[in-house]
Amino acid sequence: MKYAIVTGGARGLGLGIVRALLDEAVVDEVAVIDLKLVAPPADLAGRVHGFAGDVTSEAAIHAAVEAIAAQLGPHPTVLCNNAGGGEANWFESGTRQEWDGVEIWRRYVDLNLNSVYLVSKEVVPRMRAGGAICNTSSIAGLLATPILAAYAAAKAGVISYTRTLALQLGPQDIRVNAVAPGLIYTKIWEELGAALGGGKDRARMAFEAAVRAMVPLGREQTPDDIGRTVAWLCSDKAINVTGQVIAIDGGIMLGKLPLARGE
């Protein structure tokens, strides 16, 4: 029986990853590590197992991974380090374009970067040849933005660490890649959109304005888009792909210049 560990797999992009790993038969079962567990959707019940854990806590991750190994077996095949983001008050701080408090900076780095190291350190020694890891970075880790400084720095760190880990684990035939999602309307965007657009009721409008301004394909991305790419990267179809970052962003990373032909 092959299984994956997906952090932050209870909702949002993580749930998209869980669903795609199962739909594409990359693994048979999934262990979700999440701070706030919820029952999986009915069609996934029985194949998804929840384990409470905070990815910023070494002790909590050790306990969760031990419990997973006891229930699902000693050797996970896939690890998706997906948990990340921020809290509403951290986003508000960033959008003021002042210096963030160092505590907020530390918490962004803890949640988005240190967690990837902590969970990998616990899981990798249990993986065998043929295993695959996929880390969730962000377009914020590739493009500069005057807001989200700490989040962007942490997500850039995830890309660097992905490449290092790919080199370190190559000789063991364990592949390590990352995805850089673009704009997906999840809880993160409810909170960032509220901070940008002046309140919760306007969060969706702020998000749609960002999609119009940034995305060459003109549409938002979805958890399903991210899940299918992660599933491919973790499958044997990508057997010679390692150390890569794939942006799933409708073309944002093309970095268009603001020049347009007049009509």
Ligand X SMILES: NC(=O)c1ccc[n+]([C@@H]2O[C@H](COP(=O)([O-])OP(=O)(O)OC[C@H]3O[C@@H](n4cnc5c(N)ncnc54)[C@H](O)[C@@H]3O)[C@@H](O)[C@H]2O)c1
Q: Which residues bind ligand X (CB under 6 A)?
A: 7-8, 10-14, 34-36, 54-56, 82-85, 111, 136, 138, 181, 183-184, 186-189
Report the nearest approach of ligand X to the CB of residue 244 (Å). Answer: 16
Question: Would you say 35 or 173 has its CB closer to ligand X?
Answer: 35
CA distance 48 to 142: 32
Question: Would you say 28 or 110 has its CB closer to ligand X?
Answer: 110
- Residue 224, classified by CB atoms within 10 Å of its CB into exposed (0-12), middle (13-18) or buried (19+), is middle
Run of H or E residues at 33: strand 29-34
Report the nearest approach of ligand X to the CB of residue 38 (Å). Answer: 8
Question: Would you say 181 or 250 has its CB closer to ligand X?
Answer: 181
Report the nearest approach of ligand X to the CB of residue 116 (Å). Answer: 9
Report the nearest approach of ligand X to the CB of residue 130 (Å). Answer: 25
With CB atoms as reference, the residue minimizing the distance to ligand X is 12
Encoding tokens for residue 150? 């700490």
Residue 48 in contact with residue 253, Cβ under 8 Å?
A: no
Residue 151 appears among annotated catalytic residues? yes
CA distance 154 to 148: 10
Report the nearest approach of ligand X to the CB of residue 47 (Å). Answer: 18
Q: Which of 3, 151, 161, 185 is catalytic?
A: 151
The alpha carbon dihedral of 143, 148, 154, 155 has a sign of negative
Q: What are the C-alpha distances in Å from 5 to residues 51, 124, 226?
A: 10, 11, 16
Question: Would you say 58 or 263 has its CB closer to ligand X?
Answer: 58
Strands (E), the chain: 3-7, 29-34, 48-52, 78-81, 132-136, 175-181, 245-248
CA distance 13 to 19: 10
Residue 206 in contact with residue 197, Cβ under 8 Å?
A: yes
Question: Would you say 47 or 173 has its CB closer to ligand X?
Answer: 47
**Please, which residues bridge with residue 50 across strands?**
32
Encoding tokens for residue 212? 């119009």
Residues noted as catalytic: 151
